[in-house]
Amino acid sequence: MNVTATKQKPTATRVLSYAGALLETMDAGLASSPNVFIMGQGVDDFKGIFGSTTGLAEKYGADRVFDVPLMEEGMTGAAIGAALVGDYPITTHIRADFAFLAMNQIINLASKYSYMFGGLMRCPMLIRVVVGRSWGQGAQHSQSPQATFAHYPGLTVVMPATSQAIVDMYPQIINKHPGPVISIEHRLLYNLDFSVADSGSKIPLTSYVARPGKDVTVVATSVMVIEALRAAQYAEDKAGIQAEVIDLNSISDPDWDLVVDSVRKTGRLVIADTSWLEYGLAGEVCRQLVMRDPGLLRVPPAMLGMAKAPCPTAKSLEDLYYPSQHETVDAILTQVKGQEHGIPLPTERSMTEGYKRFRGPF
């Protein structure tokens, strides 16, 4: 599948997978300065975090790209210590769920060291976590903790949805951003190919318009940006509806003006997130809108997220658990034309139909 996230007038493009974009930026980060290093379980093995670190240990040496024991808290603490004396650590968690073992270091320490010491301590670092989905990932390999992390001041949280976002953002983060950054990557995106422009405007560490439109605003994150783009195309093809898709992209520092301006224009809103709706990103988007102007929406917004349960493993339940392409299209059509829109929905039941050749590696 080749997915294009619209970007203003790219000059020249090439095809690059999400994993390939990660590998490029990891490589470039290591090349940029000897103080950059990568550690994580399996970063130097033959799978190389799904191809995102493959060959880097050989290229940069075992003291700069190295495997660690199973010690999420210890690893994150060691990263903080290295950062405090001037290194730039990149750590990996092959599932975001495992980063919960590092919560003490991330929340009690990394997020607070700048403020708690009055600016004397800085721990710039990049923590890469991968969200799993499909093929029975289940309750402990599927969680998407953007709302959790973005709740805490001092953490910068991004969710790159495309290769372009990685190629543009990671060089702004690695060895440049002053504090700890958590990048929530999505496993389903790793094997997708994207068109990437190497020149032109860079995706910033905040939100951007992935597809312009005038009829309805779709605020999406991570893989749901891809789903939203597909749904928007369908809605345009079948009903002439122009949906504006905003990739929120930065969860800690979204461009709220961009979102508000879009909703002011469309009066209609779909929020498509990769996690639970309760106390989450969808609520925050609404809070920001309502606080600025309670009269922006012409109809109640639609919200797509995971069902309020731990993730099941059975395919039949998993298909119900995640918002489907069917539901995403329906939400867009309903916002614009009402529930009785009468427009046929795509036959594809779920997003995983589109990626069903995905059977690992996990």
Partner 1 sequence: MSSRDELYRRLFRTALLIRLVEQRIIELYPSDKIQSPVHLSIGQEAVAVGACDALRKDDVVFATYRSHAFYIAKGGRLDAMFAELYGRMGGVSKGKAGSMHLSAPEVGLMGSSAVVASAIPHAVGAALAFKRRKSSRIAVTVFGDGATEEGVYHESLNFAALTKAPVLFLCEDNGLAVHSHRHIRQSYGLLQHAASYGIATRRLDEGWDAVAVREATVEAVERVRAGEPFLLEIATARYKEHVGVGEDFHFGYRAQADIDRWKRHDPLIQDRQLVEALTPEVEREIAQAVAFAESSPTPGRAELLTDVL
CB of 325 to partner 1, least distance (A): 37
Q: What 3-state DSSP class applies to 193? A: strand
Candidates 110-118, 161-169, 222-230, 281-289; binding stretch for partner 1 (CB under 8 A): 110-118
> According to the binding rule CB under 8 A, does residue 250 interact with partner 1?
no
Lookup result for tokens 């600016």: 119
38 forms bridges with which residues in the sheet? 65, 90
> According to the binding rule CB under 8 A, does residue 108 interact with partner 1?
yes
- Residue closer to partner 1 by CB (options 196, 205) is 205
Task: Please state, in angstroms and rounded to a whole number, the distance separating the CA atoms of residues 220 and 217.
Answer: 10
Candidates 80-88, 202-210, 225-233, 292-300; binding stretch for partner 1 (CB under 8 A): 80-88
**Is the four-CA dihedral 205, 210, 212, 218 of positive or negative sign?**
negative
DSSP code, position 196 = E
> According to the binding rule CB under 8 A, does residue 79 interact with partner 1?
yes
CB of 277 to partner 1, least distance (A): 27
CB of 197 to partner 1, least distance (A): 29
- Residue closer to partner 1 by CB (options 114, 325) is 114
CA–CA distance from 189 to each of 103, 105, 115, 225, 268 (Å)? 25, 28, 35, 11, 28
Strands 13-17, 208-211: parallel, antiparallel or unpaired by DSSP? unpaired
Task: Please state, in angstroms and rounded to a whole number, the distance separating the CA atoms of residues 4 and 226.
Answer: 9
DSSP code, position 190 = T
306 forms bridges with which residues in the sheet? 276
Q: What 3-state DSSP class applies to 328? A: helix
Contact mark string toward partner 1, 22..51, x via CB under 8 A? ---------------x--------------
Q: Which of 116, 291, 299, 309 binds partner 1 (CB under 8 A)?
A: 116
Sites for partner 1 among residues 136-175 (CB under 8 A): 153-154, 156
> According to the binding rule CB under 8 A, does residue 212 interact with partner 1?
no
Which stretches of the chain bind partner 1, using CB under 8 A?
37, 63-64, 68-69, 71, 73-87, 89, 104-105, 108-109, 113-121, 153-154, 156, 178-179
